[in-house]
Structure 1
Amino acid sequence: MDKKDYYLYVKGKAVKVDEEIYRAYWRITEHEKYLQRKDWKYNVLPFSVFDYDGHFIDNIVDESIDIEKIVEVKMQIEELNKALNSLTEEERDIITAIFFREESLRSIGERKNRSYQVIGKRRDKILEKLRKLLEGKI
């Protein structure tokens, strides 16, 4: 039985190769095609798509995220925490109960032996104090 000849084309010219090299080449080639089909199926883009002008990092900026807004909110939260820390223990307890534990004015009043109207007025005064602290008026 005649031994089959195997050829691979390099720059348009047939190059005779061993069967082992021939099979390895086609195994790799078919695997690359398989991966490419999976990329197309799941809309995966290669990094080279984003590096069309040599500035890869600049081309992958996510415009949907507003970093400035995130930093601004973080700074506001830090200022709010400072203002909350400057409250008295009773004031902090009322604010924590209302806004963090979501207790009703009535339940807070029962716990402190006061009416819910008194707790509501106290809440309003504390919020006004916090507003002034955050605006820098105190």
Structure 2
Amino acid sequence: MAKEYYLYVKGKAVPVSEEVYKAYWKITEHEKYLQRKDWKHNVMSFSALDHDGHFVDNIIDEKIDLEKIVEVKMQIEELNKALATLTKEERELMEAIFYREESLRSIGKKEKVSYQTIGKRRDKILEKLREILKDKI
């Protein structure tokens, strides 16, 4: 006696061949495997984002403030323009202090002046930059 195979469609048992039955379950088990893998790696399908018919609204990341990013980018551009107006010595001092994070003492030792002198130069340069950027930022 041959074994009978059934698949359920809308709650009703439909007789199918062994080949169709095995193919159906192979696909079904593969889908379950992929779903378990997605859960394990916290992957979300695009169709999950379209639960209410507003796909585009559901993928917007509201944690990112695009206006703020653009504003900061424009400020950085203005700062770079202002830095370009400095003399070579002024620019080198600013790079040493703010980019290479050298101490005022170590810079003073290199230039054979006191750290207070380096601090005064720094303050003078920063005031110059403030004046340049006053109306732009």
More displaced stretch, 9-18 vs 114-123: 9-18
Percent identity reads 74
- Kindly provide the amino acid, as one letter, of the partner of residue 116 in structure 2: Q
1:4 matched to 2:3? The reply is yes
- 1:25: how far off? 0.8
Instruction: Tell me how far apart the structure 1 counterparts of residues 103 and 91 of structure 2 sit (CA, whole Å).
Output: 15
Give the partner amino acid of 2:92: D
Counterpart position of 1:20? 19
- In structure 2, distance between residues paired with 1:123 and 1:136: 21
Highest relative contact order (Cα 8 Å, sep 6+), 1 or 2? 2
Match of 1:69?
68
114 and 62 in structure 1: CA distance in 2 versus 1, 3 angstrom threshold? same
Counting only pairs closer than 5 Å after superposition, residues 80-119 of structure 1 correspond to structure 2 as 80-119=79-118
- Cα distance in 2, alignment partners of residues 57 and 65 from structure 1: 16
**Structure 2: stretches of 5+ with no match in the other structure:** none
Distance 1:30 1:96, change over 3 A: same
- 1:130 counterpart residue number: 129
CA distance in 2, matches of 1:40, 1:97: 49
Q: CA deviation at 1:36?
A: 3.8
Instruction: Note closer, same or farther for the CA distance 1:83–1:28 as it changes in structure 2 (3 Å cut).
Output: same
Separation (CA, whole Å) in 1 of partners of 2:48 and 2:98: 48
TM-score, normalized by length of structure 1? Answer: 0.82
SS of residue paired to 2:32 = helix
Number of residues of Structure 1 aligned to a counterpart in Structure 2: 136
Name the aligned partner's letter for residue 68 of structure 1.
E
**TM-align CA RMSD:** 2.3
Residue aligning to 2:58: 59
- The answer to whether residue 26 in structure 2 is matched with residue 32 in structure 1 is no
User: Offset of 1:86 from its aligned partner?
Assistant: 0.7
| 1:83-130 Cα distance to aligned partner (Å, 9 max, x none) | 111100011011111111111212212222322222111111100000
Unaligned runs of 5+ in 1: none
**Where does residue 47 of structure 2 map in the other structure?**
48
**TM-score under structure 2 length normalisation:** 0.83
